[in-house]
Amino acid sequence: MSRATSIPQPAGADQPPNEAEAQSPSVRIIDARTAIDELIFAEDPWYALPLERQRELSDALIRQALREHLERCPSYRDYYARSGAAEPGAVALADIPLVSTRVFKFADLRSVEAHEVERWYRSSGTSGQPSRVPRDRASLERMVGSVHGSVGLLADWDEDEVAVINLGPGREHVEDVWFQYVMSLIEALYRSESRVPRDEAALDEIIGLAQSLLDDYEHLIVVGPPFHVLDLCEHMQRRGVELQAGEGATILTAGGWKRFGGRAIPKQEFRAVVARQFGLRGEGQVRDVFNQVELNTVLFECEAHEKHVPPWVHVAARDPETLQPVPEGEEGMLSYLDASCSAYPCFIVTEDVGVVRRGRCACGREGTRVDVLRRLESRAAKGCALKMGQIHANG
């Protein structure tokens, strides 16, 4: 992995302002003076580090991010002071004051000047007020770097031998919807084709494309939201098509079910259907990634279907009433402290319920994993967590 990396620009993105950019619009050299950049853009993957080293890095990187946000974000600084938390050098990571993800629906929370915001990204929810989250250059570069540095959790492919079908609108049509931007990053790693499976004709075309790419390439990745992948598999069933991909394909899902129309089937059943229709060697070739607009890091699933969390992110499952971390392996409201985000204090408590595990994974790697189970349902719990995570940011 080189420290020079490129950020695929969504259509209509603001043009970079400085001269170096004008000469080289797609390649940006990272200044890796800081520890977090050393880690994100390292040659050796973070998931090969021993657990103890991951813990040390996590502690140092998150404390450094906390100091920077306290310095640069007045509304977070006020909120922190009111919370009574200990100073950044002494506070336990679990006690760092959290911002509710709801805040991004109404507040302009940022740690950079307005002109340093490359773009405001929004959530892709179909109902209610969308979240709007700022990203500056460094946050976007680290996001891209973290995708490059984590994709090895899927497999160690030679990039010339991989083709991608993205079941989405494709890079050139990505605007300010964060989900589409993230998908375009995965698509950007390899030769790729984008197709929205909007009707039967499009589905037929995708099946044909998958067949020909399987013939021409050593590996095919089909990436998309689970409901699109399921549509494709059901269409194959109707057409009597079963591909013979063997070990030559990975089906990668991203994004939830609910926000996109409500149809959902259990994960195990989903993997079985996909593995059968694509003729995969095993269900380990059906993987998921997790991200949300308020989080600056994409979490990839290993072959044991566990989402490994890199050391620059601290994840905890918390009691919805007290916001205190629950014992390891128990369900709680998920919170993230993401040190890769310089644009805003990415110390967030979400409305997802999940489980956090630390130690050795069934895949053999050490580290922290998170299982995102469902949205928080209880109105009372939501209200309480909201009250505690509410920052009074107003511009």
Binding site for Zn ion (CB under 5 A): 302, 304, 306, 361, 363
CB of 101 to Zn ion, least distance (A): 26
DSSP assigned state of 10? P
CB of 55 to Zn ion, least distance (A): 17
Q: How far apart are CA 26 and CA 18, in angstroms?
A: 13
Q: Which candidate, 271, 338, 258, places its Cα nearest to that of 298?
A: 338
Could you list the beta-strand ranges (E) of the chain: 4-5, 28-29, 99-100, 117-122, 132-136, 162-166, 191-194, 219-224, 249-254, 286-290, 299-301, 307-309, 313-318, 331-338, 347-360, 366-375
Q: How far apart are CA 387 and CA 81, in angstroms?
A: 17
84 vs 364, beta carbon nearer Zn ion: 364
132 vs 365, beta carbon nearer Zn ion: 365
Q: Which candidate, 270, 286, 350, places its Cα nearest to that of 318?
A: 350
CB of 47 to Zn ion, least distance (A): 8
CB of 363 to Zn ion, least distance (A): 3
69 vs 307, beta carbon nearer Zn ion: 307
CB of 328 to Zn ion, least distance (A): 16
CB of 308 to Zn ion, least distance (A): 6
Residue 383 parent element (H or E) = helix 379-389
39 vs 363, beta carbon nearer Zn ion: 363
4 vs 304, beta carbon nearer Zn ion: 304
Q: How far apart are CA 188 and CA 168, in angstroms?
A: 13
37 vs 306, beta carbon nearer Zn ion: 306
> Are 230 and 273 spatial neighbours (Cβ–Cβ below 8 Å)?
yes
